[in-house]
Amino acid sequence: MTWAVVVPVKDSSHAKSRLGDRPERAALAEAFAIDTVAALAAASAVERVFVVTGSGRLGIRLAARGAVIVPEAVAKTTGHDRLNAAIEQGIAAARRACPHANLAVMTGDLPALRSADIDSVFGLAAAYPRSMVPDAEGIGTTTLFARAGVMFIPRFGLDSRAVHETAGHVVLDLPSNSSIRRDVDTAADLDMAGALGLGPNTSVLLGSVHH
């Protein structure tokens, strides 16, 4: 059975503040999202990618990579509450469009993501009603999984691994250097992702900045 994947993507002007004051910060956030979505769209296990974003301009770029764009509803909340509300919106859209597909939620900041890793981990996830992939530090969450028809509540944010695990998501056994665990929030994270091999959009952007 194939998977529908929900990817929440912030407006780049508000994204990745922990990367500091570097002038390309907003452009990097967009490149991360584009590389993440492109890798998902190329994976054989993925039926469709649903991107929830409030940015019409970025939505156009991601739609060109094969994503279905779900315009983010006007938010009455901020921070992690807003993120989880956007994810819920994407889940609803995915279940309407792909009612028989398994469902995953993946963060949009995985610039080293490889399609082969996606197919492998989705195969592991199919064995459980609910499962998850923690980030490389083992504290947060990069991906949640639920088999078709299984309800779940996304709780991305501080210590989300523990929250999701308590809610019944089995932690999938992946090495810490798996590309699906290497999200990027800081400059150090970006260096670690770079060691795995960055996607083409992020690579081109960093190359243009450094030369």
The per-residue pLDDT for range 161-205, each reduced to its tens digit, is 999 999 999 999 998 889 999 999 888 899 999 999 999 999 998
CA 170, CA 161: separation in Å to the nearest integer? 10
- Beta carbons of 177 and 113 less than 8 angstroms apart: no
Annotated binding site for phosphoenolpyruvate: 141, 157, 160
SS3 (DSSP) at 181: helix
pLDDT category, 211, cuts 50, 70, 90? very low
pLDDT category, 25, cuts 50, 70, 90? confident
Annotated binding site: 141, 157, 160
Please tell me the predicted confidence (pLDDT) of residue 34. Answer: 96
More confident residue, 50 or 26: 50
The arrangement of secondary structure in 3-200, i.e. its CATH architecture, is Alpha-Beta Complex (3.90)
Cα-Cα end-to-end distance for the chain = 45
Task: Give 29's contacts (C-beta < 8 A, 6+ positions apart).
Answer: 10, 12, 15, 16, 109
* pLDDT at residue 22 greater than cutoff 70: no
Query: For 21-25, 38-42, 139-143, which range has the lowest pLDDT when averaged over its residues?
Result: 21-25
Burial of 197 (0-12, 13-18, 19+ CB in 10 A): exposed
pLDDT category, 18, cuts 50, 70, 90? low
Q: Phi and psi (nearest 5°) for 203?
A: -60, -45
What is the arithmetic mean of pLDDT over 154-162?
94
* pLDDT at residue 20 greater than cutoff 70: no
| Host H or E run for residue 119 | helix 115-125
- Beta carbons of 58 and 14 less than 8 angstroms apart: no
Q: What's this model's pTM, rounded to 2 decimal places?
A: 0.92
